[in-house]
């Protein structure tokens, strides 16, 4: 257990950030699953920019790696364009 006042504060801050990051990461994963379950192309095309924006936000905040974000966006875009 930390003894310094600054270390105790850092622990509190890290816990708060972790919960915050976990919420945004989980909500983005849920949105990705929702997009992958769509069968209607027009609805998927309308929802794609929202999901891409969520992925970009995670990448910008260093919750996920930039390359992972690029790969996800690429795969999701391909998936939406293949829908018939």
Total-model pTM: 0.87
pLDDT in tens, 32-81: 999 999 999 999 999 999 999 999 999 999 999 999 999 999 999 999 99
- Residue 48's domain is classified under what CATH number? 1.20.58.110
Q: Which domain holds residue 59?
A: 5-82
CA torsion 36-48-28-72 (nearest 10°) is 70
Sequence-distant (≥ 6) Cβ neighbours of residue 37 within 8 angstroms: none
Counting the structural domains of the chain, the total is 1
């Amino acid at each position: 257990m930390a003894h310094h006042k600054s270390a105790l504060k850092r622990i509190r801050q890290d816990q708060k950030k972790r919960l915050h990051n976990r919420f945004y990461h989980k909500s983005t994963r849920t949105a990705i699953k929702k997009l992958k379950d769509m069968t209607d192309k027009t609805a998927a095309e309308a929802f794609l920019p929202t999901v891409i924006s969520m992925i970009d936000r995670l990448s910008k905040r260093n919750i996920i790696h930039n390359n992972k974000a690029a790969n996800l966006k690429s795969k999701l875009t391909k998936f939406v364009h293949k829908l018939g």
